[in-house]
Structure 1
Amino acid sequence: MVKRYYCDYCDRSFSYSAEARKKHANGHHHKKLYQLHYEHHKTAKQRLQDELSREKCRRFHLQQKCSFGESCIYSHLIDADILKLKEQAREEDEAVRKSKLPTQVKNGEEPTLETWLSKRKEHLQSPTDYRMEDTSKWEFKYSIPSSLENISYLPPSLIPPSAESLLQITFQDWG
C-alpha cells in the first residue's frame, strides 16, 4: 500500500513523494486556494496594504467585465471600498490601543495619586485586615509640583506621564 498525501486546501489526495508534493504545492490551483484560505485571516490593515500595492484593473474600472474575476491580479476595489477598508483598519488599531489601556482610562476616568495614597494610608492603619483592596477602584494622577510649573523646559524625568505614553514604552530584553 502506497502512502497518500492529503491537501486540506485543495481537498484532494495523491501518492506521497517529494516530487509529487512539490509539483502540487507549486501548482496554480493550490496556490489560489491557499491564498483564499488565508485571506479570511488577514486584518483590515493587511488587506488595505495588499490592495494599495496592486494596480487598478483597467477593464473593471472602465465598467467592463473582467474575465478573470476573483483571480485577477489587479485591484477591483473602488474608492468607496478603499475608504471603508481604511476606516476598518483605523477601528482595529483603536480597539488594539484601547485594549492596552487600564480599565479606568478606558472609562474616561483620570486616576489621582492623592486618592491612592489616602486609600493606602487607610489600609495600613487597619491592623486586622492585610488584604489588598480592589485596585480597580484606585485612581492615579500625576501632577507637577507648583514650584516647577513656571519652568518652561523640564527634564523628561519630571514631566508627568500619561497613560498613552506608558503604553509606548519598550522594555529591553536582558537575556
Structure 2
Amino acid sequence: MGKRYYCELCDKSFAGNLTNRKNHAKGFLHQKLRQEHYNTFKDPSVILTEQLSKKPCRKIQVGEECEFGDHCRFSHLTPDRKQQLENLIVAQNKKRLEDNAPLPDANIDEWLEKRNNRLKKGDDSDKTTADEEKTTLPEALANIPNLPPSLIPPSKQILRRTKGSDWG
C-alpha cells in the first residue's frame, strides 16, 4: 500500500499521488473550506465594504437559511453583524493609533546632536571616547534571541576601520 495524503482542511485522507492531490485541491469542498479558512483572517473593514456593496439576500430577509452560505453572491449582513464589524474596525483603529504613538523615552534630538558633534570632529580626532567605543543594543532588541546580522552592532575593530560612518 502506498503513502497516503491527509488534507487538514477537509479532514480527508487519500492516496498520495500527484494526480489525486491536484484533483482534491480543485474540488468544490476543498475550495470552499479553503476560502472559509482564509476569510477568518480578512480585515473587518474589507468584509464590511464587500458586504455593503452587495444586494441583500432575499432568503435571509424572509428569515430562511440560504443554501449558498458564505458563497452566496448576495449579502448576508444582518444589523447585528454590521454593528459587530463596525466595533471591530473602531477597536483596530484605536490600537493602530496607540501603536504608532512615539515612544516616551526615545529622544531623537539628543541622538542627532551627538551625531552632529561627532561629524564636526571629522577626521581630525583619532581618539575615540568610551561612549563611541561601546555599542549596545536598544532595550527592545536586547531580549530577542538570534537577531539577524543587520541588527547586531558591529565590533570595535570594524568601527575603527570605518571612521566616518556610524552604526544605527
1 or 2 for the larger relative contact order (CA 8 Å, sep ≥6)? Answer: 1
Q: Deviations over 1:13-41 (max 9, x none)?
A: 11123322222112111112112222222
Change (3 A) 1:38 1:72: closer
Change (3 A) 1:7 1:26: same
Tell me the C-alpha RMSD between the 2 structures. 3.5
Q: CA deviation at 1:65?
A: 0.6
Change (3 A) 1:67 1:49: closer
Q: Which residue of 1 aligns with 2:45?
A: 45
Question: For 1:104-123, what aligned pairs fall within 5 Å after superposition?
Answer: 104=104
- If the length of structure 2 is used for normalisation, what is the TM-score? 0.53
Report the identity percentage. 29
Q: Deviations over 1:118-175 (max 9, x none)?
A: xx9xxxxxxxxx69xxxxxxxxxxxxxxxxxxxxxxxxxxxxxxxxxxxxxxxxxxxx
Is contact 1:51-1:75 (8 Å) kept? yes
Q: Which amino acid aligns with 2:67?
A: F
Q: Does 1:25 align with 2:28?
A: no
Q: Does 1:97 align with 2:102?
A: no
Q: Which residue of 2 aligns with 1:173?
A: none
| Number of equivalenced pairs | 117
Q: Which residue of 1 aligns with 2:10?
A: 10
Q: Which residue of 2 aligns with 1:166?
A: none
Instruction: Write the distance in 2 (CA, Å) between the matches of 1:2 and 1:49.
Output: 48
Instruction: Write the distance in 2 (CA, Å) between the matches of 1:47 and 1:22.
Output: 30
Normalized per residue, the structure richer in helix is 2
Is contact 1:44-1:92 (8 Å) kept? no
Q: Which residue of 2 aligns with 1:81?
A: 81
